[in-house]
Amino acid sequence: MKYSIFGESHGPAIGVVLEGVPPGLALDLDAVRFDLARRAPGKNALSTPRREGDEPRVLSGLFEGRTTGAPLCAVIENTDTRSGDYERTKDLARPGHADYAARMRYQGFNDYRGGGHFSGRLTAPLVFAGGVAKQLLAQKNIYVGAHISTVYGVNDDALEDWESLRACAAKDFPVLSDEKGAEMQQAILEAKNEQDSVGGAIECAVFGLPAGLGEPDFGRNAEGIFSQYLFAVPAVKAVAFGAGTAFALMRGSEANDPLYMDGGVVRAEQNCAGGINGGITNGMPLVFEATLRPTPSIARQQFTVDLAKGENAVLELKGRHDPCVIHRAVPVIEAAAALAACELLGI
Measured between alpha carbons, how far is residue 37 from residues 55, 80, 170 in Å? 10, 16, 11
- Non-local CB neighbours of 116 within 8 Å, separated by 6+ positions: 8, 9, 10, 11, 102, 110
Provide the minimum distance between the beta carbon of 137 and its own copies in the complex, in angstroms, as a whole number: 18
Measured between alpha carbons, how far is residue 225 from residues 48, 209, 234, 274 in Å? 32, 14, 17, 14
Question: Of 163 and 192, which has the nearer Cβ to its own copies?
Answer: 192
Question: Of 120 and 145, which has the nearer Cβ to its own copies?
Answer: 120
Question: Of 165 and 213, which has the nearer Cβ to its own copies?
Answer: 213
What is the four-CA torsion angle of 168, 170, 172, 175, rounded to 10 degrees?
-10
Provide the minimum distance between the beta carbon of 239 and its own copies in the complex, in angstroms, as a whole number: 6
Question: Of 40 and 272, which has the nearer Cβ to its own copies?
Answer: 272
How many whole angstroms separate alpha carbon 37 and alpha carbon 50? 13
Provide the minimum distance between the beta carbon of 279 and its own copies in the complex, in angstroms, as a whole number: 7
3-state secondary structure of 305: strand
Provide the minimum distance between the beta carbon of 186 and its own copies in the complex, in angstroms, as a whole number: 14
Question: Of 165 and 233, which has the nearer Cβ to its own copies?
Answer: 233
How many whole angstroms separate alpha carbon 312 and alpha carbon 92? 9
How many whole angstroms separate alpha carbon 4 and alpha carbon 182? 37
Provide the minimum distance between the beta carbon of 179 and its own copies in the complex, in angstroms, as a whole number: 19
